[in-house]
Structure 1
Amino acid sequence: MFSHSPGPIGIFDSGYGGLTILHGIRQRLPEYDYMYLGDNARAPYGSRSFEVVYQFTRQAVLKLFDMGCQLVILGCNTASAKALRSIQQRDLPEWDPDRRVLGIIRPTAEVIGNLTTSRHVGLLATPGTILSGSYELEIAKLFPDIRLSGVGCPLWASIVEAGEADSPGADYFVKKRIDMLLRKDPDIDAIILGCTHYPLLMNSIVTHVPPGVRIIPQGEYVANSLRSYLDRHKSLESMLTRGGGCQYLTTESEEKFSETARIFLHEQVNVKHVDLG
């Protein structure tokens, strides 16, 4: 069904936030080739049902496999929460049992035990990720003593994509949700940014978080987890090309993607339009 030649690492997101994951991975593993796919035409996924997110994510993974990727990272918390398990258990055995699809929730859960002293952790994420309970499940498996409190931030991703991350309006909404989270549990000493857009709000976030509370963006931890995964899975690692290049694909207009990607990457990118439906 698919080519068995070595190929790039695929990174998928419903929008642009996965570019923060791509950036973190490329900083840590610059030698590999990458292919980034943004389903920007159908973003955001945060408010969509489990079934719709699964179908959309499945189409994106198939596209990346079809374009030569042997490994795909779901650089999207909503897709990781709502689609990853189904794709791993239902689809991969049928498509190609040698290929892999990995998410970004598990790598964050794996390190959280080392990043909190009080064992009270906060989560800021899209309403869909909060409702999925995925972070609670993963963290409870590894660290049952940790208490996780989550707050949905419905507007944050849209604010970032509109280029308004440093505006007074953004600051108002950031403060509102952080205050809500700390009212839920004043003993929180670490906050997971459970949406890949949120690192771009960091200037505002650090202003409203009390001293001593650690902010945890995901890029660095996902990258470290991927390095460890490839070290343990040498046969998969041997199927990855090493040229240090990156291709960008979008389901939206190429011009719009290039313009918005600059907010995340601070560089001009060449992008190609693809259809998933």
Structure 2
Amino acid sequence: MNKGPIGVFDSGYGGLTVLKEIVDQLPQYDYLYLGDNARAPYGTRSFETVYQYTLECVQWFFSQGCSLVILACNTASAKALRTIQQNDLPKIDTIKRVLGVIRPTTEVIGSFSKTNAVGILGTNGTVQSGSYPIEIAKFYPNIKVYQQACPMWVPLIENNEHQSAGADYFVQKEMGKLLQQSPDIDTILLACTHYPLLMNKIQQFIPQGIKVLSQGKIVAGSLKEYLIRHPEMEARCSKNGQLSFFTTDSTEDFDNHASNFYGKPVKSSHLQL
């Protein structure tokens, strides 16, 4: 049996917040991270474009020996995952698996809310896809979901402006729009893997008692359980504790920004797709 690393994909840097939590919980495995920075952001692109880009990257992971790929990107999970799982995987390889970040989050979100009113903050693409309301309804039909797109947040973070006074304006603006939708919201999900970098600012502009959830720990815990439930997949994952980082854009830019998301210095290699 050929063993290979677990692939972790994002359109840019945000997936590193998920990878960090996965490595913390499952340090024994090998990981391959790819940021498609040359074509980011995905959040404003069409379903077809996001699907094509994501499929190209998934196929690259497979060519590198990965049997399991995590789409640590909400936009890719919302716009591409289902098609890849249903249409492409049966043709490519029936043994390989691609998982996303939406389902693990929606499976548990109801356990955090007492009022059955949940707020979702995401990119335009994630919000427009309707993926979160649809998936949450499957597990928690009584929960009301309120969504707010935050188109300026990713550019602020990727330009290192997320600690600036300018960021305060855009965070306060979108939080105000979300909370105006319902006074009952008691749980807010950061449905973009970039947004944990704005956690401190988000907390400033919400009433006390509202929980704000980031996805990293939830996705990592779900992956841990998945590997226990699927020993045949776990056996295909190599365990040398090694990490490799790739970007489709400048490695210098990637390495400079990546440490903000991963919390440690990162050294990447360039990939031409």
Provide the C-alpha distance between the structure 1 equivalents of 2:225 and 2:265, rounded to a whole number of angstroms: 31
Provide the C-alpha distance between the structure 1 equivalents of 2:97 and 2:202, rounded to a whole number of angstroms: 34
Provide the C-alpha distance between the structure 2 equivalents of 1:268 and 1:223, rounded to a whole number of angstroms: 21
Which of 144, 151, 170 is the aligned partner of 1:147?
A: 144
1:181 is matched with 178
Question: What are the equivalent positions in structure 2 for 1:224-243 lying under 5 Å apart?
Answer: 224-243=221-240
Return the offset for 1:132: 0.1
Pair 1:158-2:155 in alignment: yes
Provide the C-alpha distance between the structure 2 equivalents of 1:56 and 1:161, rounded to a whole number of angstroms: 20
Provide the C-alpha distance between the structure 2 equivalents of 1:83 and 1:35, rounded to a whole number of angstroms: 20
Provide the C-alpha distance between the structure 1 equivalents of 2:267 and 2:214, rounded to a whole number of angstroms: 26
Which of 249, 256, 261 is the aligned partner of 1:252?
A: 249
Which of 18, 30, 34 is the aligned partner of 1:33?
A: 30
CA contact (8 A) 2:188 2:211 kept: yes
Provide the C-alpha distance between the structure 2 equivalents of 1:134 and 1:89, rounded to a whole number of angstroms: 16
Return the offset for 1:209: 1.3
2:46 is matched with 49
1:24 is matched with 21
2:264 is matched with 267
Question: What are the equivalent positions in structure 2 for 1:4-153 lying under 5 Å apart?
Answer: 5-153=2-150
The residue type paired with residue 90 of structure 1 is: N
Question: What are the equivalent positions in structure 2 for 1:191-202 lying under 5 Å apart?
Answer: 191-202=188-199
Identity %: 54
CA contact (8 A) 1:166 1:203 kept: no
Return the offset for 1:27: 1.0
CA contact (8 A) 2:19 2:262 kept: no
TM-score, length basis structure 2: 0.99
1:171 is matched with 168
Provide the C-alpha distance between the structure 1 equivalents of 2:125 and 2:266, rounded to a whole number of angstroms: 30
**Unaligned 5+ residue runs, structure 1?**
none
The residue type paired with residue 191 of structure 1 is: I
Return the offset for 1:262: 1.6
SS in 2 for 1:113: helix
CA contact (8 A) 2:47 2:79 kept: yes
CA contact (8 A) 1:122 1:188 kept: yes
Provide the C-alpha distance between the structure 2 equivalents of 1:130 and 1:269, rounded to a whole number of angstroms: 31
Return the offset for 1:264: 1.2
Provide the C-alpha distance between the structure 2 equivalents of 1:265 and 1:163, rounded to a whole number of angstroms: 14
**Unaligned 5+ residue runs, structure 2?**
none
Which of 205, 209, 212 is the aligned partner of 2:209?
A: 212
TM-score, length basis structure 1: 0.97
Which of 187, 190, 196 is the aligned partner of 1:190?
A: 187
SS in 2 for 1:94: helix
Return the offset for 1:5: 1.2
The residue type paired with residue 18 of structure 2 is: I
Return the offset for 1:267: 2.3
Return the offset for 1:165: 1.2
Provide the C-alpha distance between the structure 1 equivalents of 2:271 and 2:62, rounded to a whole number of angstroms: 14
SS in 1 for 2:141: coil
SS in 1 for 2:203: helix
Provide the C-alpha distance between the structure 2 equivalents of 1:265 and 1:62, rounded to a whole number of angstroms: 24
Q: Deviations over 1:83-111 (max 9, x none)?
A: 00000000101111100000000000011
RMSD after superposition:
0.7
